[in-house]
């Protein structure tokens, strides 16, 4: 610690202690003078020694109370509480000493009664006055402060108002809340002006520049309502982060953009992270497609669960390098084995086993783009079915504990190559792991928000380019889940009661109309749908259908202990027939059969696969 730093650190604290000594002395002298009715001679006899005892004892109590760990700049109720405790215990110590020394009779009743409130006034008032003065000085430096109207008048709004009072970047012109009892009341000096649905007229009357949504625990419908009101008047909006976000942030005033997953139409699904940690901790995990949106998030969550080893299999160089570098920062002690390989290569799978027999295998590698796969039948079958079968056989033969196949809701009554190949992969895994020691879990996803190739990144690019935003059909809808939800669903599968094969999916609430999703994203960008950004309907693409399902009608699902995680038993299959079909597919791929022959094999293996007729209207 340098000399200049010691001076800058210690001098303010020394001045604070000197202030408190002075104020305590003035209080004691004043009380004695009042008792003596202004007779100076009456308070001279032995008073100096008495004053030194009082100052010493009170200084010790002030230090003990923790008052000097605070900062005048942020003096508040906790500081007054510390002063009160120090005053009460200080008075108690003074009385004990005076009784023990036989000088109790020198303490008049007025001094005992007035000492505690007097000390709170003498020590507390200067601190609060200093804070008010400092806040006003900071606010006066920001004459261009943004005029803010706050939707919500709860505890989050109160914390926000307290923080921005010293920030200076924002000036709150009013609060809105639907509780009629709050109208006209003030929070931190800011008045509740009306209901939230009066946002438009109140914002115009107060010349507000920004709406801050202080509803961190609100239902999605309430958030959508405020966003819609802001959209109607063209007002920018931000939302307050949760308290945990504030604690982790460097900026005490956390105003976040409203994310698209805030508007899913349901609350985020909570998982039992402790049980996941108990299951995964110390285990060896293999992840295929480890550089993709799902695979990389799985790797992060496995690292968080303290696995002992992560074997990452990925055929794209840069994504594999990026996730390995990220894991090295996230958990430097974690053993990460990167394998630049294709999981359809049996030799690559065998080499992966040489690094340790995995307790858990998460097979995330797949081709997933619906329209593109419609013209790439061979690659869809090779990667989604044959590569899955190759990996599954190696895992079975080497005694992997648990194999998790990541599938899709498009495998239910499939109308496209993606859904059909994923359903065939499900059945092939059932057949391969039949009568084996390896447990099979099949996890079906809905659409994953912001994953590679999903509709959200495409809409975001189109909005940034000024539109139009292209939607296939006015009525098309999809189930959506966030990337963390998707990955936690996968991890949750291994904490469920063991069974040979189980299908898991999320209760994702109601499906979301893609046209509504496009409109919400346009609003989140501060634009108006149909005015600033147009929405263009292009018609269903090859392999697409209007609506998706969570389970096949013949799959009877039940709720797990989580309540929001659904499970079902796969439909019965002819194991020998499915294995024969997998072998015929492998032979056809080796021989280079054309797409017609490959499609014929796929239709034979998945007889419910029907081609969807597109609608360009």
Backbone angles phi, psi at 181, to 5 degrees: -70, -20
In whole angstroms, give the CA distance from residue 243 to residue 241.
7
Q: What pLDDT shows up at residue 137?
A: 57
Give the pLDDT confidence of 254-304 residue by residue, as tens digits.
Answer: 555 555 555 555 566 666 777 778 888 899 999 999 998 889 989 998 998
Place of tokens 């290569």: 345
Which positions ≥6 away from 524 have C-beta within 8 Å? Answer: 227, 257, 258, 259, 260, 263
In whole angstroms, give the CA distance from residue 457 to residue 461.
6
In whole angstroms, give the CA distance from residue 307 to residue 337.
13
Angle at 403 between CA 275 and CA 439, to 5 degrees: 80
Q: How crowded is the C-beta side of 538, counted as CA atoms within 13 Å?
A: 11
Which positions ≥6 away from 497 have C-beta within 8 Å? Answer: none
CATH class of 282-448+479-508+549-605: alpha beta
> Does position 615 have pLDDT exceeding 60, yes or no?
no
DSSP 260: G
Q: Burial, 424: exposed, middle or buried (Cβ in 10 Å; 0-12, 13-18, 19+)? A: buried
| Per-residue b or e along 312-348, where b marks 16 or more CB atoms closer than 10 Å to that residue's CB | bbbbeeebbeebbeebeeebeebebbbbebbbbeeeb
And the tokens for 524? 């989140």
CATH T-level assignment (fold) for domain 146-258: Rossmann fold (3.40.50)
Which positions ≥6 away from 80 have C-beta within 8 Å? Answer: 120, 124
Helix (H) or strand (E) holding 250: none
Highest mean pLDDT (candidates 93-97, 258-262, 550-554, 601-605): 601-605
By mean pLDDT, which of 62-76, 385-399, 556-570, 574-588 is the weakest?
Answer: 62-76
In three-state form (DSSP H/G/I as H, E/B as E, the rest C), the secondary structure along 442-460 is EEEECEECCCCCCHHHHHH
Distance of CA 148 to the CA centre of its chain: 25
| Confidence tier at 345 by pLDDT (50, 70, 90) | very high
And the tokens for 171? 């000036």
Q: Burial, 411: exposed, middle or buried (Cβ in 10 Å; 0-12, 13-18, 19+)? A: buried
Give the pLDDT confidence of 139-177 residue by residue, as tens digits.
Answer: 554 556 778 888 888 877 887 887 776 666 778 888 888
Q: How crowded is the C-beta side of 450, counted as CA atoms within 13 Å?
A: 12
Q: What pLDDT shows up at residue 245?
A: 44
Task: Specify the pTM.
Answer: 0.63
From residue 90, give the alpha-carbon distance in Å to each of 34, 63, 108.
21, 11, 16
And the tokens for 107? 């303490």
Q: What pLDDT shows up at residue 420?
A: 93
Sequence spans of domains, the chain:
10-138, 146-258, 282-448+479-508+549-605
In whole angstroms, give the CA distance from residue 502 to residue 278.
21
595 or 447: which leads in pLDDT: 595
């Amino acid at each position: 610690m340098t000399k200049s730093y010691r001076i800058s650190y210690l001098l303010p604290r020394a001045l604070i202690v000197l202030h408190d000594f002075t104020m305590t002395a003035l209080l004691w002298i004043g009380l004695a003078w009042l008792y003596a009715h202004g007779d100076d001679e009456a308070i001279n006899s032995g008073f100096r020694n008495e004053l030194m005892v009082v100052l010493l004892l009170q200084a010790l109590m002030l230090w003990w109370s923790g008052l000097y760990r605070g900062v005048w700049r942020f003096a508040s109720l906790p500081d007054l509480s510390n002063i009160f405790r120090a005053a009460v215990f200080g008075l108690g110590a003074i009385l004990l000493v005076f009784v023990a020394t036989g000088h109790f009779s020198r303490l008049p009743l007025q001094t005992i009664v007035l000492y505690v409130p007097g000390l709170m006034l003498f020590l507390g008032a200067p601190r609060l006055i200093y804070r008010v003065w400092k806040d006003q000085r900071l606010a006066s430096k920001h004459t261009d402060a943004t005029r803010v109207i706050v939707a919500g008048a709860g505890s989050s709004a109160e914390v926000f108002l307290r923080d921005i009072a010293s920030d200076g970047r924002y000036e709150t012109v009013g609060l809105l809340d639907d509780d009629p009892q709050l109208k006209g009341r003030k929070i931190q000096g800011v008045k509740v002006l009306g209901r939230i649905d009066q946002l438009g007229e109140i914002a115009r009357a107060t010349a507000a520049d920004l709406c801050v949504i202080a509803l961190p625990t609100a239902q999605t419908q309430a958030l959508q309502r405020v966003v819609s009101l802001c959209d109607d008047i063209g007002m920018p909006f931000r939302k307050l982060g949760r308290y945990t976000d504030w604690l982790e942030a460097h900026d005490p005033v956390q105003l976040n953009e409203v994310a698209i997953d805030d508007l899913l139409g349901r609350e985020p699904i909570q998982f039992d992270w402790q049980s996941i940690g108990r299951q995964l901790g110390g285990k060896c995990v293999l992840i295929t497609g480890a550089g993709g949106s799902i695979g990389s998030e799985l790797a992060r969550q496995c690292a968080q669960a303290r696995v002992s080893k992560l074997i990452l299999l990925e055929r794209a160089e840069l994504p594999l390098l990026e996730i390995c570098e990220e894991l090295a920062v996230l958990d430097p002690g974690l053993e990460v084995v990167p394998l630049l390989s294709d999981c359809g290569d049996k030799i690559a799978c065998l080499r992966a086993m040489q690094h340790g027999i995995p307790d858990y295998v998460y097979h995330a590698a797949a081709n997933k783009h619906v329209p593109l796969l419609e013209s790439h039948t061979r690659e869809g079958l090779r990667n989604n079915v044959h590569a899955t079968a190759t990996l599954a056989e190696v895992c079975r033969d080497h005694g992997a504990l648990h194999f998790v196949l990541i599938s899709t809701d498009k495998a239910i009554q499939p109308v496209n190559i993606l859904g059909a190949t994923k359903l065939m992969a499900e059945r092939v895994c059932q057949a391969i792991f039949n009568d084996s020691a390896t447990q099979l879990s099949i996890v079906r996803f809905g659409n994953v928000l912001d994953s590679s190739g999903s509709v959200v990144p495409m809409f975001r690019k189109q909005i940034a380019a000024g539109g139009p935003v292209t939607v296939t059909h006015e009525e098309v809808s999809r189930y959506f889940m966030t990337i963390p939800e998707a990955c936690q669903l996968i991890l949750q599968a291994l904490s469920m009661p063991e069974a040979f094969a189980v299908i898991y999916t999320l209760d994702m609430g109601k499906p979301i109309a893609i046209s509504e999703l496009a409109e919400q994203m346009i609003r989140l960008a501060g634009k108006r749908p149909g005015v600033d950004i147009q929405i263009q309907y292009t018609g269903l693409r090859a392999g697409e259908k209007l609506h998706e399902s969570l389970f096949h009608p013949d799959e009877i699902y039940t709720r797990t202990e989580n309540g929001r995680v659904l499970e079902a038993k796969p439909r019965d299959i002819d194991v020998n027939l499915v294995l024969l079909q997998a072998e015929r597919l492998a032979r056809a791929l080796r021989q280079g059969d054309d797409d017609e022959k490959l499609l014929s094999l796929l239709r034979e293996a998945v007889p419910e696969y029907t081609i969807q007729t597109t609608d360009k209207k």
